[in-house]
Structure 1
Amino acid sequence: TGKMGDKVYKLVTVTEKDTKDVIAFLRKFFFHDEPLNICVGLLDEPGSTCQELEDYCANSIKEGLSLMAVTPANEIAGVCINGAKRRENEEISAMTDEVNACKNLKFKKILNLLTTVNIQSDIFGKFPNITSLVEVRVLSVDDAYRGKGIAKACINKTKEMAKEQGYDLIKLDCTSHFSALAVASLGGYNCVYKLNYSDYLDEDGKPIFVPEPPHSCVKTYVCGL
């Protein structure tokens, strides 16, 4: 339980029955706020949604590792979508197949970037002794509750949960300057990979993503458990 000003929130595991509420929350905040989503104009049409991103979140929720911060009024104040990766399942071909199968061209750009980051950061290659990790895939806080430490609390709780369940490492790919700052400030996390958006180019040599400052790169942070 954490304090939110004078309000108290509790962190609870997201179950499959919460999926609809969590997706509605993400639709309201994350889908519109995340720098890459804004860059590609993921939800430019009023009332539009991205089914692929919703499916990505819903599938991760099924793993039972995701968390949400809930207020006393039973409203969601923050969401942390997590998933596990195991060395034996880390197939590059499966990752690229998923990207190629994506019908939504805007979301496909984002998936492509995340896959590139995954392959180049090569966490299982860098840490030969680990067999499994938990990754924080989506982290989003309600505008009204920002700056109250909810994101950090979610990351800390995820780390604790991953350790209890026997995972070796926690990993976060931070596409936003603010999420990278939050992780760096926790202590104990190492930045093991960085990709500048200005270096991630299309076939014509132009940057695929040109986010608003201060967002300039993706950083991958890890912490051993």
Structure 2
Amino acid sequence: MTASTKDGITIRTMAERDYPIVKSFMQEQFFSGEPLSQSTGEQVHLQNEKESDEYHLSMIREGTCLIAIDENQGGRIVGYVLAGSQYPEDLEKHRRDAEQMEQHAWGRICRLLSKMELEANLFERYGTSKLLYSHMTSVGGSMRGKGLGSRLAATLMEVGRAKGYPLMVAYCTSFYSARQKEALGMQCVHSLCYADYKDDQGRVIFTPAAPHTHARIMVIKL
């Protein structure tokens, strides 16, 4: 894609060389604010770190990840979105991988997301054999409330259309991210109430602060 600049903020395709700074930004801005990670008090960014790095780099190589930089501050990163292809066979792979993960926060999050994607079964629902999965979006604290998250999501939709994806999906664990996606025309097709998601002993697994009460699967046809 061609880089797009507005109000001094440039959004462009992420390159592998960007990943070290993106990873640092992810630790500082995403995991500290994502409701499920935040509610556990665990250092989620250190859990399954090697596997996560490999997964993120594989998405970057697809040319479907974006980085936002502030031209007025020497090209400092202020946001990003990691996204990549998904196929029907990925559902079973995600289920197996999640089951085998440790009983730490990231493992519990992955099991929740796998449960939701199996229940939603978007490939069957929409009769498609591939979709663009918006995996992780983060905007720096100084830029929140200024429309950058929406701009990143809208730009990703453009990338998806240009690459021939029929569908874009995002799993929103935050009330605010779901509301933002809805404002861009994405529809909630499946949700899970955190208070109803319990372990074998009947204990609620995630207790994020209000207003984060549900995880939602948001979809838009491209």
- Structure 2 gap ranges (5+): none
Q: How far does the alpha carbon of each residue in 1:182-215 deviate from its partner, in whole angstroms, 9 at most, with x for none? A: 011112x221101110111111112100100010
- How far has the Cα of 1:54 moved from its partner? 4.2
- How far has the Cα of 1:111 moved from its partner? 0.7
Corresponding residue for 1:81?
A: 82
> SS of 1:220's equivalent?
strand
Shift in CA distance, 55/213, structure 1 to aligned 2, threshold 3 Å: farther
Corresponding residue for 2:19?
A: 19
- Aligned partners of 1:31 and 1:42 also within 8 Å: no
Pairing 1:163–2:164 present: no
- How far has the Cα of 1:166 moved from its partner? 0.7
Q: Which amino acid aligns with 1:201?
A: K
Corresponding residue for 2:137?
A: 139
From 202, 205, 209, give the equivalent of 1:212: 209
Listed as ranges, the matches of 1:191-210 within 5 Å are: 191-210=188-207
- Structure 1 gap ranges (5+): none
Listed as ranges, the matches of 1:115-134 within 5 Å are: 115-128=114-127, 130-134=128-132
Corresponding residue for 1:96?
A: 95
Q: CA RMSD in A?
A: 1.8
Partners of 1:215 and 1:98 lie apart in 2 by: 26
Corresponding residue for 1:42?
A: 42
Partners of 1:103 and 1:144 lie apart in 2 by: 34
Q: How many residues align?
A: 215
- How far has the Cα of 1:40 moved from its partner? 2.1
- TM-score, length-scaled by structure 1: 0.89
Q: Which amino acid aligns with 2:82?
A: I
Q: Which amino acid aligns with 2:78?
A: A
Shift in CA distance, 60/104, structure 1 to aligned 2, threshold 3 Å: farther
- How far has the Cα of 1:102 moved from its partner? 2.5
Partners of 1:135 and 1:223 lie apart in 2 by: 11
Corresponding residue for 1:221?
A: 218
Shift in CA distance, 216/56, structure 1 to aligned 2, threshold 3 Å: farther
Partners of 2:99 and 2:59 lie apart in 1 by: 20
Partners of 2:208 and 2:104 lie apart in 1 by: 18
Listed as ranges, the matches of 1:103-122 within 5 Å are: 103=102, 105-122=104-121
- TM-score, length-scaled by structure 2: 0.90
- Aligned partners of 1:42 and 1:107 also within 8 Å: no
- How far has the Cα of 1:80 moved from its partner? 0.5
Q: Percent of counterpart pairs with the same letter? A: 27
Partners of 1:209 and 1:56 lie apart in 2 by: 25
- How far has the Cα of 1:125 moved from its partner? 1.7
Q: How far does the alpha carbon of each residue in 1:40-94 deviate from its partner, in whole angstroms, 9 at most, with x for none? A: 22328xxx7331544443343233211011110211110101011123x3342x2
Q: Which amino acid aligns with 2:35?
A: P
> SS of 2:134's equivalent?
strand
> SS of 1:32's equivalent?
coil
> SS of 2:32's equivalent?
helix
Partners of 1:62 and 1:117 lie apart in 2 by: 27
Corresponding residue for 1:186?
A: 184
